[in-house]
Structure 1
Amino acid sequence: MVAGKRSRPGSAPAAGSAPDEVAGPGPGSTASGIVALHRSRMFDWKPSAVVAIAPCPGAPLFAVGYESGSLELWDMLQLVCIQTVVGPPLELTSLAWARDSVSSSTPWRTFAAFLDGTVAEVVWRQGAVAHSMDSYGGVVWALAASPASVVKPGSTGNIHILDAVTGREHLRITAAAVTSRPVTVWRLLSLSDGTLVSGDSDGAVQMWDGRFGTLLHRFTQHRADVLALAAMDDGTAVFAAGVDSQVAMFTRVGGVVHGGGRTSQPESWVYTHYKRPHTHDVRALALLALPDGDGGRGAVLLSGGVDAQLIAYPARTFLQEHPHRLCKCPQRPICQASAASAVGVKGAATPPPSRLIVAQHDLLDVWQLAAAAAPTAAAAEAFEGTPLELLAAPRHLARVRVKGTRIAAASLSPSGAFVAFTTPAGTRVCRLEAGAAGAGGGAAAVPPTLTRLKLAAAAAAPAVAIALTDTHLALAFRDGGLMSYNLSEGTVTARRSHVAPSPAAAAVLGAPSSPAPQPQEQQQQQQAWRSYCPAAAQLVTSPDGSSLAAIGGQGISLYRMPGLEPYGRMLRADGAFTAAAFSRDGRLLAATTSTCQLLVWEASSGGGGGGGTGGSDCNQLRWCLDNAEAISAAISRLPGAPTSVSFCPAPSRPGGGGGGDGAVPYRLVVNSPGGMVHFDLSRRVAETYVDKRKDDGAAADGSSRHRRRRGYLRPDQLPQPEDRPESRGGNGRVIRTVHPAVWVGHVGPEELLLLEKPWEEVLAALPPPLLTHRYGS
């Protein structure tokens, strides 16, 4: 039985915190079926505005730049963010891709411009912004690679066409319709036939003849400034967006041809329609060309704005299909919690509460989670959602603010005693020493002190990823190397250099995407993201500190801690790994992929209890192979790619659900921005979400076998499987959340933490829209 609950704490939480909510029986429960689900909104989540989108000409990738200076690299085929880079603490103004004729591994390189006038390269494989230089011309508002001519807008309402080499002006176009007030041309676009498209502060979209500077057409569908433009590669359609948050489409219409080849009227432009998926100003538009192969949709229009949402539209069917939101939780904060069973002294009757870190931008907060009362015997018979009383309210323990930079990665030790984070300036580790407890451990307790540890110069260098155990710090550097650092002794325990693998996608990245690629070329384009992913983009340590998993573009590598001795083979998957976690004893390693797969290996580094041959190899569990279709079907019910996976600290009793010989007493929860899925590895996964219509949906003659009776619902009108009461007791139950689920993880054998926040609260913290619609006007 799975249940949930809501409750208010008995005492008011500390200043700056929000009440914690605890839910009754839920996923990942104990043998009695009871678990406390903590639903918390006390953390800060402030995404930045999207200011630039740049598609890669040679791969189905696109780069996104944010107002905070951070950048993301997305794979459109997998619909997942494969890399995040923290840039300088400046507003990013423009992005562009340039072809490198020298490098064979990454022929396409990304460049970014910032508000202070600097231009720098974004090195995705190193997770850094490097090679910065001053433009010596003020703020750089736009970048272009190898242009033959330059078209420059201005605040005087004029458009200047310049020679890219000499800088001489060839033509000047007056774009302002009136001279009584100033008009600013915000955006310009050049089509393949030489037509210029401009968007200005009057909300006008104008088409110009690029050779003579004559006005071809003027549209005033927008009610405010036009800030972004995009067009199809063949120039048949133009998209415009701006302050009024609508994305409008303008189509080129051909002339009417009569007998003898005469044309009664020339080509013209018409306004087609608009979409309004954004709530705030739209500041970026881009068109990503995708291959039209089997199942392909051709070009995809991408938009982003102040509401931090990335929206995708099928460009060819812009009017027929609805836009698609790429992520329900944009720019999720870094979250990690320590389980209560791992904190404190062995043999203690009541372990101290769990701790939680939340890091975003330049802030890192440390929280002490609320303590819930143990479920009583009567709670087993309660319905789902029965409240549990809180013994102690959540407390804000400490806050760290870094100056002049941003936090790229953060980690919390299993005991909650150490906190580490890395920035482009360096890596820091702090010890969290508990203060004197007050009566009952409530609000009267003395706040703990946060003491910064002095690290060696090698360990204090900037890192791509970090991970903590109770005794050591693991770091992954920009060159792909790994380091193990002893926190108590202050010395480097081991260091391992990275051996660069041969690039798999270098051949296809050299040329732009073709309309109809060959099967081999199409397969290489699907793997193009691996060339831009670091060797170790994420580090995961086992709770007992014996193993380390380095997750990168080529796969997952396993090492013994603290000596960093590699063991086993590299673990690979078809898609990108999105999350990974070790079991409490370090025996199992679970990982999720962008294709909604859950892969579990026996990854013990020792000889006892490990999988493989004496712990020298990693074998995938038979449970994954037997339930692969049902697992993927359950995870696919959640919107978005999986973002985290968490093992229950306490083992389960093997159930009689047909687990087979490979049944192991472990349970885990897979989280995505839309909810979570609970799996018991000792039971067979229920096939509730497997689509069986392909087996019995149609007869041999193509007609439907089942005729719908009058008064009965169609199959697509029936309640969703996860909403039906009979699915609550099955293994692999899907639980959807109303609000975005930022992070889900176990904080105890009988407790699960859900960090969620209504999107309305996130929007309330953003700047208000510059233009709002007044109903009745």
Structure 2
Amino acid sequence: MRPGLVALHRISLVDWQPTPVVALAATPDGTVLAAARESGEVELWETRSWHCFLRFPGQDGASLTCLAWAHDTLDDSWRLFSGGLNGQLLEWDFHSRAPQHACDSFGGAVWGLAPQPLKAIPSGGEADAGVPIAVASDDGAVRLFKMQPGTPGLQYSRTMPCIEARALCAAWHPSGSVLLAGYADGCLRAWHVPTSRELLRITAGAGAGQEDLCIWAVHVLPDGTMVSGDSQGRVQLWDANFGTLIQGFQQHKADVLSIATSPAGDRIFASGIDSQLALFARVTGSSGSSEQQWAHLESKRPHTHDVRALAVVHVAGEEPLLASAGNDTQILVSCVLRFQQEHPIRVCQAPQRPVLQLARVAGPASAADEATGLMPPSSLLLSGQRQQLDIWQLGQAVHPSIQAKEGGWVEGSAVRLNHTPMRLASITTKGPWHMSCAAVSTDGRWAACSNTQSLQLYHLHSASSGEYDGTHPPAIKRMRLSIEVSQQLASATSLAFTPQHLASAAHDGTVALLDLESLEVVRSWTEARQLSGAQAGPTGRQEASCQMLPAVERLLVAECGRWLAAVGPKRIHIFDLSSQQHHAQLPLAQDAGLVTAAAFSPSGNQLAAVTSICQLVVWDVAPASFGRWTQQNMGHPPEALLSLPGVPSHISFNPDPKIETVMIQTPAAMCSADLSKPPMHGAGRKRTRRSAVKPLDSHAAAGRNFRVLKLDHPCLLLAFTSPSSALLVEQSWTEIWKSLPNPVYRHRYGT
């Protein structure tokens, strides 16, 4: 068998079901985009590299409809609020990853949130009085709530007059004193906020069908022009002084659900049920006069289903971007100024990935495998999504060397299986909350999962003596933890099993060790809680993305059992399990990006990590310094690695200590690298922001170091199971679409 050839075990058994996106909201500085999903999960995306750095787990019965950001002047922080059909206004805590405060809307279901623009908030004492947020409610009233600096949640302020129709959306005039609202009776109303007086009432429709007309989206341009999108597919522009119709467009064939505009107010984007993104812009009249009018310039259909949310992301000094999302579960980004010339980019091929962990069972060395033709024992795969936790025993294949000797077998051919994968255990957690993390021990005897409320530990054992397997499934016993331990380990953000302990990382960065015999916490570390100062942006204000980064994103245990790594986006801490002491903090360059994946080498002497800008960093663990590979290639990153599409989500070492091969995976591609050989260096360039460059054909040449292969389907996990085999967990979008709501019917030519 050719050296380096591995048998790739491709499975699609994991029940991956991403849910539609119902709302998008970007911070005014453009560094963070928040996305709310139907499952109640809220995601925070860092817009420089489009890495999802924080997830708020959802819960059953969640019904989020809208999101809004507000700036707290007391500590210069950003705060996230949401509204839902249950009539609750929630504030989300970035540290505990759960709603921090809930209050009633006093008007039933919440259909829209609109924070007052930052430019309209006066400086000085009035700013300290709070940021007004308009709430469009089901009872027909638009209420004002205030975000008080330093006080959790929202406080009720006042109510605009109630209308006998649902208030569906709201938007502020740039002055901050006028509020525009859209209603389910087909009317737009402009309210003077200081006096609660109605300034304008505009009937958006005319003739029959007016009683069923709904205004789903409104927006106010910097010059005061009002824009509306309704249930008849119309986008209309209205004069701010007299409420007269300036122009109207019937480009959409179904309801217009969302509207977004460029920062300058010269471009309008509209989307809706017909999966269409439409661009309207100011153009100069054909007669040659200086008078400008609005025109429809472009329509695209990059989404396959309803587009329910739009948001403009604008970082100071960079081109603004348009983010769109909807029922197809995917977030797409396109350049606002080059919308007609460029196709939107999908920020993630596999959104809302389930919790996956491969428990690799130690087996014989690769030389012994090839000599005997035997594969090592089957590994275990843990998958968790929402309230379901499954443990699979992977299939066992005939060693590739056996089929290679038979002749006629080339790369890409199928490998015979001795037995197929089997589900050993299925656990359904109690309560409405969805799990945030999970783990399984390498011997398959312990499993654990955590949500925002509690940690649940399970012991898996054979009903009879001996090991359990697919023929003899395990008996599952939930272990009862004391009240003190439960409170100490509640709301874990990451879990990992050592030979004798369960390591847990809390939301504040505290790492604790739970003894599996006594079920008591025997050690805890607080070194990972030390956070560096937030980075200041071009305006001198701290960037929102730096304020929200979690302290610890994942825990890793070396196979030797000595080292425990607490990996955060900006720092990595190493703990010595033998002495139960903090060992060191690994150095990381400030411009290296966010750490998105990491792994120990088989010997545990090295730790490798990949960042959001596709940089590979290798450290020597004991001296806590950069390894030989990093020192030689720090200034010259591999060109092929920089071209890897997507953000790296996993890295895996070959289990054979004699082979220095790693596989780096993104949801769209994989890269195989031999750290003992020099890569083909590029020109030292860095990966540009929001790059989605596809790999070149030369990068897929066999035998090339840092070989890049594009994957046919979204990849959820790619990892070595033995020196000569690897696991690829994938799922096709054809299967995902079966669980999504059907899109609106559109007749296609020739059908």
Amino acid at match of 1:531: Q
Residue 319 of structure 1 is matched in structure 2 by 340
Structure 1 CA distance, aligned partners of 2:83 and 2:334?
A: 27
Residues 427, 717 of structure 1: alpha-carbon distance in 2 compared, 3 angstrom cutoff: closer
Amino acid at match of 2:199: H
Q: How is 1:316-395 mapped onto 2 (pairs within 5 angstroms)? A: 316-341=337-362, 352-377=377-402, 379=404, 382-395=409-422
Contact 2:528-2:552 at 8 Å conserved across structures: no
Contact 1:86-1:129 at 8 Å conserved across structures: no
Residue 119 of structure 2 is matched in structure 1 by none
- Write out per-residue CA displacement over residues 429-448 of structure 1, whole angstroms, 9 at most, x where no aligned residue: 1122245699x9996x1222
Residue number among 720, 742, 746 corresponding to 1:746 in the alignment: 720
Contact 1:336-1:412 at 8 Å conserved across structures: yes
Q: How is 1:536-547 mapped onto 2 (pairs within 5 angstroms)? A: 536-547=552-563
Structure 1 CA distance, aligned partners of 2:363 and 2:660?
A: 17
Residue number among 456, 462, 475 corresponding to 2:491 in the alignment: 462
What are structure 2's unaligned runs of at least 5 residues?
Answer: 116-131, 133-175, 365-373, 687-692
Q: Which moved more, 1:592-601 or 1:424-433?
A: 424-433
Amino acid at match of 1:756: E
Aligned pair 1:280/2:305, yes or no? yes
1:351 CA drift (Å): 5.7
Residue number among 206, 223, 231 corresponding to 1:193 in the alignment: 223
Structure 1 CA distance, aligned partners of 2:243 and 2:80?
A: 32
1:67 CA drift (Å): 1.2
Residue 590 of structure 1 is matched in structure 2 by 608
Residues 553, 722 of structure 1: alpha-carbon distance in 2 compared, 3 angstrom cutoff: closer
Residues 386, 271 of structure 1: alpha-carbon distance in 2 compared, 3 angstrom cutoff: closer
- Write out per-residue CA displacement over residues 584-631 of structure 1, whole angstroms, 9 at most, x where no aligned residue: 23211111101111111111xxxxxxx42xxxxx12111223244775
Structure 2 CA distance, aligned partners of 1:744 and 1:371?
A: 17
1:562 CA drift (Å): 6.8
Residue 458 of structure 2 is matched in structure 1 by 430
Instruction: Provide TM-score, normalisation by structure 2.
Output: 0.83
Residue 127 of structure 1 is matched in structure 2 by 97
- Write out per-residue CA displacement over residues 334-380 of structure 1, whole angstroms, 9 at most, x where no aligned residue: 1111112179xxxxx98642110111222221111101123345616
Residue 602 of structure 1 is matched in structure 2 by 620
1:53 CA drift (Å): 1.0
Residue number among 87, 94, 99 corresponding to 2:71 in the alignment: 99
Question: What SS class does the counterpart of residue 257 from structure 2 fall into?
Answer: strand
Structure 2 CA distance, aligned partners of 1:746 and 1:366?
A: 18
Residues 73, 564 of structure 1: alpha-carbon distance in 2 compared, 3 angstrom cutoff: farther
Amino acid at match of 1:47: P
Residue 728 of structure 1 is matched in structure 2 by 702
Contact 2:570-2:595 at 8 Å conserved across structures: no
Residue number among 575, 581, 586 corresponding to 1:565 in the alignment: 581
Aligned pair 1:622/2:592, yes or no? no
- Write out per-residue CA displacement over residues 190-226 of structure 1, whole angstroms, 9 at most, x where no aligned residue: 1111111111110000111123211111100100010
1:43 CA drift (Å): 0.9
1:500 CA drift (Å): 5.3
Residues 583, 137 of structure 1: alpha-carbon distance in 2 compared, 3 angstrom cutoff: same
1:93 CA drift (Å): 0.8
Aligned pair 1:408/2:429, yes or no? no
Structure 1 CA distance, aligned partners of 2:241 and 2:734?
A: 48
Residue 517 of structure 2 is matched in structure 1 by 488
Residues 51, 365 of structure 1: alpha-carbon distance in 2 compared, 3 angstrom cutoff: same
Residue 323 of structure 2 is matched in structure 1 by 302
1:490 CA drift (Å): 0.8
Q: How is 1:407-556 mapped onto 2 (pairs within 5 angstroms)? A: 407-434=435-462, 445-460=471-486, 461-497=490-526, 501=530, 504-505=533-534, 507-508=536-537, 517=538, 529-556=545-572
Residue number among 647, 650, 663 corresponding to 2:656 in the alignment: 650
Question: What SS class does the counterpart of residue 585 from structure 1 fall into?
Answer: coil
1:767 CA drift (Å): 1.6
Residue 114 of structure 1 is matched in structure 2 by 84
Q: How is 1:574-723 mapped onto 2 (pairs within 5 angstroms)? A: 574-603=592-621, 611-612=622-623, 618-628=624-634, 632-652=638-658, 665-686=659-680, 690=682, 720-723=697-700
Residue 42 of structure 2 is matched in structure 1 by 71
Question: What SS class does the counterpart of residue 111 from structure 2 fall into?
Answer: coil
Instruction: Provide TM-score, normalisation by structure 1.
Output: 0.80
Residue number among 208, 222, 233 corresponding to 2:238 in the alignment: 208
Question: What SS class does the counterpart of residue 629 from structure 2 fall into?
Answer: helix
1:685 CA drift (Å): 2.7
Structure 2 CA distance, aligned partners of 1:193 and 1:326?
A: 32
1:391 CA drift (Å): 1.1
Amino acid at match of 1:546: R
Contact 1:119-1:133 at 8 Å conserved across structures: yes
Contact 1:126-1:534 at 8 Å conserved across structures: no
Question: What SS class does the counterpart of residue 646 from structure 1 fall into?
Answer: strand
1:668 CA drift (Å): 1.8
Contact 1:484-1:562 at 8 Å conserved across structures: no
Contact 1:367-1:397 at 8 Å conserved across structures: yes
Amino acid at match of 1:419: A
Residue 21 of structure 1 is matched in structure 2 by none
1:70 CA drift (Å): 0.8
Structure 1 CA distance, aligned partners of 2:233 and 2:295?
A: 16
Structure 2 CA distance, aligned partners of 1:581 and 1:453?
A: 29
Contact 1:484-1:564 at 8 Å conserved across structures: no
Contact 2:663-2:719 at 8 Å conserved across structures: yes
Structure 1 CA distance, aligned partners of 2:332 and 2:695?
A: 29
Question: What SS class does the counterpart of residue 114 from structure 2 fall into?
Answer: coil
Q: How is 1:765-776 mapped onto 2 (pairs within 5 angstroms)? A: 765-776=739-750
Contact 1:246-1:274 at 8 Å conserved across structures: yes
Residue 213 of structure 2 is matched in structure 1 by 183
Structure 2 CA distance, aligned partners of 1:406 and 1:442?
A: 28
Structure 1 CA distance, aligned partners of 2:200 and 2:684?
A: 64
1:151 CA drift (Å): 2.1
Structure 2 CA distance, aligned partners of 1:582 and 1:291?
A: 38
Residue 152 of structure 2 is matched in structure 1 by none
Residue number among 181, 184, 202 corresponding to 1:173 in the alignment: 202
Structure 1 CA distance, aligned partners of 2:387 and 2:568?
A: 25
What are structure 1's unaligned runs of at least 5 residues?
Answer: 3-31, 259-263, 344-348, 509-516, 604-610, 613-617, 653-664, 695-715
Aligned pair 1:759/2:748, yes or no? no
Residue 5 of structure 1 is matched in structure 2 by none
- Write out per-residue CA displacement over residues 39-97 of structure 1, whole angstroms, 9 at most, x where no aligned residue: 11111111111111111113422111111111111122122222112144302211111
Structure 2 CA distance, aligned partners of 1:350 and 1:322?
A: 46
Greater strand share, structure number: 2
Residue 254 of structure 2 is matched in structure 1 by 224
Structure 2 CA distance, aligned partners of 1:492 and 1:765?
A: 42
Residues 452, 441 of structure 1: alpha-carbon distance in 2 compared, 3 angstrom cutoff: closer
Amino acid at match of 1:673: P
Amino acid at match of 1:591: A
Residues 236, 36 of structure 1: alpha-carbon distance in 2 compared, 3 angstrom cutoff: same
1:408 CA drift (Å): 0.8
Cα-Cα RMSD: 3.0
Amino acid at match of 2:741: P
Residues 304, 431 of structure 1: alpha-carbon distance in 2 compared, 3 angstrom cutoff: same
Structure 2 CA distance, aligned partners of 1:436 and 1:775?
A: 64
Q: How is 1:24-173 mapped onto 2 (pairs within 5 angstroms)? A: 32-89=3-60, 90-104=62-76, 107-145=77-115, 146=132, 148-164=177-193, 167-173=196-202
Structure 2 CA distance, aligned partners of 1:350 and 1:234?
A: 62
Contact 1:484-1:563 at 8 Å conserved across structures: no
